[in-house]
Structure 1
Amino acid sequence: MVLLAPRWAGGEGSPASAAARTPSAAAASPASAPPSAKPGRSPKPSHSPSASPSPSPSPTVLRIPASGPGTFATARADASSSGQYAYRVEVEDGSGVDPEEAADRIAGILAAPRGWGQGGKRTFHRVASGPAGLVVRIATAATTDRICAQGGMNTHGEVNCRIGERVMVNLKRWQTGSPEFDGPLNDYRALIINHEVGHWLGHGHETCPGAGRPAPAMMQQIYGLKGCVANAWPYDENGAYLGGPSVP
């Protein structure tokens, strides 16, 4: 089973029109013309072919497999990084996600000033083998459901989870975001990582602290914002924690 998420390419073809010009002629009959003279035939109008309209571009379709083999490709280690926490990035085979691109995106999220790294106060380094206290996996919905169920969680083919050292990222969410999140897809990817890594760091769920305020990264924003504004980050620009009341 494959889930299809249409992405429409812009552009349209405008038909060009060509008008045939027929010259006008004034007919004059001289008085001296012999009566047997036959009037000349009017020339047949020439027909110029109309230009065909340009075909509209076909819609591009992002194919999101609903299930996969359950095997994973591991992103390369980042030799330039060092830090307190070793982590690994794995992407399910056949998912269509490039492990290196995903790993670079995740590294940027973890190191961001507004992320859990707080610009260096907490540091992460990516490994490809050996011990890793944190493993971020991007997997199809079926694989995510199966692994999350091992921890007693029902992700319904829709959401992510953290089970032990593993952060399971639902491929559908990574590729399409959430209708509840008003922002770019890469911001929603940041929310996924910040929320699940927050659980890994020991943070529980939180809810909206007040209408119009930023939703906590530890809020389950996919289920509604409850008056808050969508937000992907645990800290603001000044380093203040963007939290809310704890919920189960």
Structure 2
Amino acid sequence: MGRRRTDRRQHTARRDSRRGRGSRRRKRPHTRLLASVLTLGAFAGSGFLVVQQGTGASDETAAGDTLESTVSPAPSPSVPDSAAPSASPSVSAPASPSTSASSSPSATASPGKTPGENPEKKTEVPATGPGTFTTGRAGGETVGKGTIRTYRVQVEDGAGVSAGQAAREVAAILAHPRGWTNDGVSGFRPASSGTADLTVKIATPGTADALCGAAGLNTRGELNCSIGGTVVVNLRRWVLGSPQFSGPVSEYRALIINHEVGHSIGHGHETCPGPGRPAPAMMQQIKGLKGCVANAWPYDENGKYLGGPSVP
């Protein structure tokens, strides 16, 4: 009787022991699974930290990702968006110097050209010369009708002006449709030899002052004069024009010849006929236009005389 009870206790103990071992066996897989999850989480967290350090991100939002992002494969560092503004200076190469002439305006303002002066060529005008002259041969035919006056053109030696070229320019001015031949009583012809009714002398300022001064005229190194049959043209005016004349130098030369030849054929000084109207060729335009418009010719395109009130 006592042995049976002992056997039952031993059987019960062995059965309880087997149940305990079975229970422990069944609990081990859960323990291993939990360990695996913890290990994986640790590795993923390490990878997340490495990625964040590699990108150099300093924004706090980058460190606040959810848990899902930590267990996913670590993303590779992203390349900055090319459209994002860069704080570093541009490394593009500067444009090579252009060999073409700049089209923009110069950065320093150039002085405005003096009216009547040639902006392309500034000729040095000698103050004086030897007082000797070379005669230019223009050729050409008689122009106009009525009283025909012969003329010649001379240029002072050393003036730097071609006597032949000057003679051709004077011939063209005298033959111009708006010139003095329009009066119907005046004509001109180049002198072939001997004496001439008119002599146009282009002289340096010093020589012009001497020639005009001999007749009591003060030209001050600037002005022209007409003495009887001699027209003295100041070289400075022939080359540079006049500050009061807005046209080209070639046009101002026409005014010089028309004004001085006008004196030779009997015309006196005139003044401005009214604001905005053409200044008479016989007006001393170099002294001011008095409201008139600069004009080189005694007549307009329709043959009307462009005169004004007489001046003593």
After superposition, give the CA deviation of every residue in 1:60-110 in whole Å (9 maximum; x if it has no partner): 6412101000000001251x4136111010000000000111111100110
Going from structure 1 to structure 2, the CA distance change for 1:60 and 1:246 (only over 3 Å counts) comes to closer
Is residue 217 from structure 1 mapped to residue 281 from structure 2 by the alignment? Answer: yes
Contact 2:159–2:204 (Cα < 8 Å) also in 1: yes
Going from structure 1 to structure 2, the CA distance change for 1:112 and 1:77 (only over 3 Å counts) comes to closer
Contact 2:272–2:290 (Cα < 8 Å) also in 1: yes
Displacement of 1:223 in angstroms is 0.5
Q: How many residues align?
A: 198
Within 5 Å, which residues of 2 pair with 1:156-195?
A: 156-195=220-259
The farther-off stretch of 94-103 and 121-130 is 121-130
Going from structure 1 to structure 2, the CA distance change for 1:114 and 1:51 (only over 3 Å counts) comes to closer
Displacement of 1:184 in angstroms is 1.0
Equivalents in 2 of 1:167, 1:60: separation in Å? 26
Is residue 81 from structure 1 mapped to residue 141 from structure 2 by the alignment? Answer: yes
The farther-off stretch of 125-134 and 169-178 is 125-134
Going from structure 1 to structure 2, the CA distance change for 1:53 and 1:240 (only over 3 Å counts) comes to closer
After superposition, give the CA deviation of every residue in 1:148-181 in whole Å (9 maximum; x if it has no partner): 0111100000010001110000000000000101
The partner residue of 1:197 within 261, 274, 296 is 261
Contact 1:90–1:136 (Cα < 8 Å) also in 2: yes
Which residue of structure 2 aligns with residue 146 of structure 1?
210
Equivalents in 1 of 2:298, 2:122: separation in Å? 33
Contact 2:271–2:309 (Cα < 8 Å) also in 1: yes
SS in structure 1 of the partner of residue 123 of structure 2: strand
Structure 2: runs of 5 or more not aligned: 1-92, 103-119
Matched to 2:142, the amino acid is S
TM-score when normalising by structure 1 = 0.74
Displacement of 1:125 in angstroms is 1.0
Higher relative contact order (CA 8 A, sep 6+): 1
Is residue 70 from structure 1 mapped to residue 131 from structure 2 by the alignment? Answer: yes
After superposition, give the CA deviation of every residue in 1:122-162 in whole Å (9 maximum; x if it has no partner): 32111253120100010000000000011110000001000
Write out the 4+ residue segments of structure 1 that deviate beyond 4 Å after TM superposition.
Answer: 50-56
Contact 2:138–2:171 (Cα < 8 Å) also in 1: no
Equivalents in 2 of 1:229, 1:243: separation in Å? 13
Going from structure 1 to structure 2, the CA distance change for 1:175 and 1:77 (only over 3 Å counts) comes to closer
Displacement of 1:54 in angstroms is 8.8
TM-score when normalising by structure 2 = 0.59
Identity %: 62
Matched to 1:111, the amino acid is A
Displacement of 1:51 in angstroms is 6.0
Matched to 2:141, the amino acid is S
**Aligned-residue RMSD, C-alpha:** 2.3
Structure 1: runs of 5 or more not aligned: 1-46
Matched to 1:68, the amino acid is G
Equivalents in 2 of 1:61, 1:247: separation in Å? 35
Displacement of 1:55 in angstroms is 11
Going from structure 1 to structure 2, the CA distance change for 1:55 and 1:66 (only over 3 Å counts) comes to farther
Matched to 2:127, the amino acid is A
Contact 1:139–1:171 (Cα < 8 Å) also in 2: yes
Equivalents in 1 of 2:98, 2:181: separation in Å? 58
Is residue 129 from structure 1 mapped to residue 193 from structure 2 by the alignment? Answer: yes
Going from structure 1 to structure 2, the CA distance change for 1:165 and 1:121 (only over 3 Å counts) comes to closer
Q: Which has the higher strand share?
A: 1
Matched to 2:160, the amino acid is G
Contact 1:148–1:154 (Cα < 8 Å) also in 2: yes
Going from structure 1 to structure 2, the CA distance change for 1:117 and 1:60 (only over 3 Å counts) comes to closer
Contact 2:138–2:164 (Cα < 8 Å) also in 1: no
Which residue of structure 2 aligns with residue 13 of structure 1?
none
